[in-house]
Amino acid sequence: DTEVTQTPKHLVMGMTNKKSLKCEQHMGHRAMYWYKQKAKKPPELMFVYSYEKLSINESVPSRFSPECPNSSLLNLHLHALQPEDSALYLCASSQERGSGANVLTFGAGSRLTVL
């Protein structure tokens, strides 16, 4: 299995809702990432988990709450979002390949619309 699976593919939510995005990989990768991509823009890093511990938080607002229940799963809990948070949320994972660099494998993304 060489995939990163994200659910749901599409999500529409109101500003008072609580929802979650899910990400799963079974490649044994030890680092997992959340990126946010607005339309026609490059992806921007939000969070990095390394060995199930949060290692990087790029000053993301607290209405986004990541969780890594185990080495294969990564969640992004959403609460009280704003319309400007509408974007494609990409999950990725990576593992050392012995070449001095970890190449990220991205999921297909969850497209979020906040009304």
Partner 1 sequence: ELKVEQNPLFLSMQEGKNYTIYCNYSTTSDRLYWYRQDPGKSLESLFVLLSNGAVKQEGRLMASLDTKARLSTLHITAAVHDLSATYFCAVDRGHFGNEKLTFGTGTRLTIIP
Nearer to partner 1, 83 or 100 (CB): 100
Contact between 5 and 24 (Cβ < 8 Å): yes
109 binds partner 1 (CB under 8 A): yes
86 touches partner 1 by CB under 8 A: no
Q: Rounded CA gap, 5 and 112, in Å? A: 16
Tokens of 76: 């992004």
108 in contact with partner 1 (CB under 8 A): yes
Binding window for partner 1 (CB under 8 A); candidates: 12-20, 49-57, 60-68, 71-79: 49-57
Does 67 sit near partner 1 (CB under 8 A)?
no
Instruction: State which of residues 7, 55, 82, 113 lies at the interface with partner 1 (CB under 8 A).
Output: 55
Torsion, CA 6, CA 88, CA 82, CA 8, rounded to 10: -30
Rule CB under 8 A: say whether 17 interacts with partner 1: no
CB atoms within 10 A of CB 112: 21
Binding of residue 54 to partner 1 (CB under 8 A): no
Whose tokens are 């990564």? That residue is 74
Residues 6+ apart with CB under 8 A from 99: none
The residue ranges that bind partner 1 (CB under 8 A) are 30-31, 33, 40-45, 48, 50, 55-56, 90, 94, 96, 99-109
